[in-house]
Chains A and B, each alone.
Chain A
Amino acid sequence: MSDVETVEEEVAVEVDHEREAMLAEISDELGDEIVETFVKPGDDVWIRITRDAWVTTAEVLKNKLDFRFLNFVSAIDWMPSPFGRDMDSQVDLAMSAAQGDVPDPPDMTIETGYAGGDTRFQVFARVNDVDSGRAVTIKADVPDDDLSVPTWIPVYPGANWHERELMEMFGIAVTGHPNPRKLYLPGAFEGNPMRKDFALLARRIKPWPGIVDVEQMPGEDDEESSEAES
């Protein structure tokens, strides 16, 4: 086993020249607009830019660097759900509270992913270069007091529906969008379902049978599962 582990470590420290070169190329074009970058060797590149450069980045990527294929545009809500993992239904929680078993309040600290982040919401998008097979993920922070991003439609027309979905699901306005109506949800729908503080109603009123799957089976102890891990 030890041999395999050392090989893995070597791979981990190895510099991914191809992706580093691509990142350098993008950095040359965008300069100060890049806030943070992250390269996972052999896997992917993440670039976080300022929100003001959101459209400029798209233009540079598409027109100068040949990332012509729009993969997707979406957002992430980094504030953990106030409802915790929501594996237990509220009925179950009320029962256990009556027995004096109070669950821990969920941890609400915001931890962002690759390439960092300072705000609760981040928009992210991915574009591909179909000729060379390269791809890059772009992220931008969206400040809480001004939840909006400029539209990508003039650059990538396909962003249209992705941005409509983004608007209704996260409540992030897309400025300059020609048709900012709801895409999936009915017109009178209230709330933004993909936000973490939007409760999944079905889960809160009915017990969740699926939890059985992740409970330990009788006769199985921690030792056994840790053995399988190694």
Chain B
Amino acid sequence: MTAISDAEKLRQLGEQATEARMNVEIETEGMTLNLGPQHPATHGTLRIIAKLDGEQVVVAEPVMGYMHRGYEKLAEVRTYPQVTTLVNRIDWVGSFANETPFILAAEKLMEIEAPPRAQYIRTVLHEMSRIANVMLGIGDMGVQIGAVTPIFFAFRDREYVLNQIEAVTGGRFHPNFDRIGGLKDDLPAGWIQNTQNAMDKVLEFCDQIETLMYGNEIFQARTRGIGIIPKDVGLSYGVSGVNIRGSGVDWDVRRDNMPQGLVYDQVDWKVWTHPDGDCYSRMWVRLQEVREGAKIVQQLLKQIPAGPVMAKVPRIIKVPAGEAFVETENPLGVMGYYIVSKGDLNPYRVKIRTASFSNISITPWLLKGVFVPDIIAILGSLYFILGDIDR
């Protein structure tokens, strides 16, 4: 530190005062707005530093790492069955869906296949995680832009789904139920009928929320034409899932690259897209996603075959040497695990491709030039879970 003389200090203050006066007269000075790390709109600890010119964003820079837990490193010192416990915590609102691609990748390397019943139940649980996750996302979008009721509807009706997940796995949020070669356990008695009823509630929720929120004039004004992601820009940023289908890209891993071990080809469903690419279209596709999810679950429940839920696997699981990448359509987008095995008890390297990481990486591009309230609408419509960004 160099000492500044009083005269120098005075001169500097005078200069600043002149500058400030000039700014009032000529233009407003740029301001830095710090959103987060603790901000209700950030679903955790995403921090966005936005440089503003008046009400408009000049530069927005997301800062993350507040929740980085190093799962890729931790997975290297754990055995394959132990990894599912870790990856449950990536996207904590749709936990079961995190386990699926990892287990499928390990099964691919071991060249074993889960029995049909396990494949059906796996797909059902995968879809139920999607429903639970996306329902919350829809309700949350409402609260972001000033409608408080939808979040209560979403929390209330999501509970029907979580109760069913809990009934079969024992955990509402962290099921840890998927195993290499099948599932931990079979379904409890009466579960199928209860789940059908829960899905009816979900479909009812969709109809309610559609008129309550999507038809609302304020909702439309806040979301239509805001935060438009063009197809090619979205793809080159790696934006996936609902966010890219909202930009008119007709690509769903469930239909186009379905990994072995799931049974989406056994049911009748549709991939919804919307050509606009704005906040509204993303939220609209999200709503259809919940409906299709409920329909998939209801159809699958009717055709679950009888039989064992676990294939014969060695008690001590050693995965043969090789590399495998399996991606699935998760609630937040495309999630994949790239597993490198050296024939050991634990994976040699696990690269976790999470959806929100890529979905949010577009924000510096997307937030340029938008108004401050739209930041919240855009973040809400991209819908991310912090654990899915920071891993």
Among listed B122-130, B206-214, B219-227, B349-357, interface-contacting one:
B349-357
B346 and A130 contacting across the interface, CB-CB below 8 Å: no
Nearest Cβ on chain B to A230's Cβ, whole angstroms? 8
A43 and B324 contacting across the interface, CB-CB below 8 Å: yes
Please give, as numbers and ranges, the residues of chain B lying within 8 Å of A81 by CB-CB distance: 76
B322 and A158 contacting across the interface, CB-CB below 8 Å: no
- With most chain A CB atoms within 10 A of its CB, the pick from B81, B82, B312, B358 is B358
Please give, as numbers and ranges, the residues of chain B lying within 8 Å of A193 by CB-CB distance: 70, 73
Please give, as numbers and ranges, the residues of chain A lying within 8 Å of B321 by CB-CB distance: 113
A184 and B65 contacting across the interface, CB-CB below 8 Å: yes
A69 and B108 contacting across the interface, CB-CB below 8 Å: no
Please give, as numbers and ranges, the residues of chain A lying within 8 Å of B73 by CB-CB distance: 193-194, 198, 200
B77 and A72 contacting across the interface, CB-CB below 8 Å: no
> Given A72-B351, A74-B351, A85-B345, are A46 and B323 neighbors across the interface (CB < 8 Å)?
yes
Nearest Cβ on chain A to B51's Cβ, whole angstroms? 15
- With most chain A CB atoms within 10 A of its CB, the pick from B72, B73, B322, B344 is B73
> How distant is the Cα of A71 from the Cα of B365 in the complex, in angstroms?
18
Please give, as numbers and ranges, the residues of chain A lying within 8 Å of B79 by CB-CB distance: 210, 213-214
> Given A76-B349, A133-B257, A228-B314, are A157 and B68 neighbors across the interface (CB < 8 Å)?
no
Map CB proximity to A onto B274-310 as digits: 1 under 8 Å, 0 otherwise.
0000000000000000000000000000000000000
A71 and B327 contacting across the interface, CB-CB below 8 Å: yes
> Given A184-B390, A203-B77, A225-B315, are A71 and B334 neighbors across the interface (CB < 8 Å)?
yes
B201 within 8 A of A: no
> How distant is the Cα of A158 from the Cα of B82 in the complex, in angstroms?
31
A120 within 8 A of B: no
A71 and B235 contacting across the interface, CB-CB below 8 Å: no
Please give, as numbers and ranges, the residues of chain A lying within 8 Å of B70 by CB-CB distance: 193
**Contact-size category for A:** 35 or more
A25 within 8 A of B: no
Please give, as numbers and ranges, the residues of chain B lying within 8 Å of A214 by CB-CB distance: 79, 316, 345
Nearest Cβ on chain A to B62's Cβ, whole angstroms? 9
> How distant is the Cα of A155 from the Cα of B233 in the complex, in angstroms?
11
B261 within 8 A of A: no
Q: Report which of A113, A137, A220 forms a contact with B322, defined as CB distance below 8 A.
A: A113
> Given A72-B351, A184-B68, A194-B73, are A113 and B344 neighbors across the interface (CB < 8 Å)?
no
A68 and B232 contacting across the interface, CB-CB below 8 Å: yes
8 Å CB contacts to A: which residues of B350-371?
A: 351, 353, 357-358, 361-362, 365
A161 and B357 contacting across the interface, CB-CB below 8 Å: yes
A69-B251, A157-B236, A213-B81 given. 18 additional CB < 8 A pairs? Answer: A43-B324, A70-B236, A70-B238, A70-B358, A71-B353, A72-B351, A85-B77, A133-B251, A156-B237, A157-B233, A157-B365, A158-B239, A158-B361, A183-B64, A193-B73, A213-B79, A216-B316, A228-B314
Which are the 8 A-B pairs with shortest beta-carbon distances? A158-B237, A184-B65, A130-B251, A184-B68, A133-B256, A158-B238, A70-B238, A68-B235
Q: List 16 A-B contacts (CB under 8 A).
A: A44-B324, A69-B238, A71-B336, A71-B353, A72-B353, A85-B346, A113-B321, A126-B353, A135-B325, A158-B236, A184-B64, A185-B65, A186-B65, A198-B73, A224-B315, A229-B312
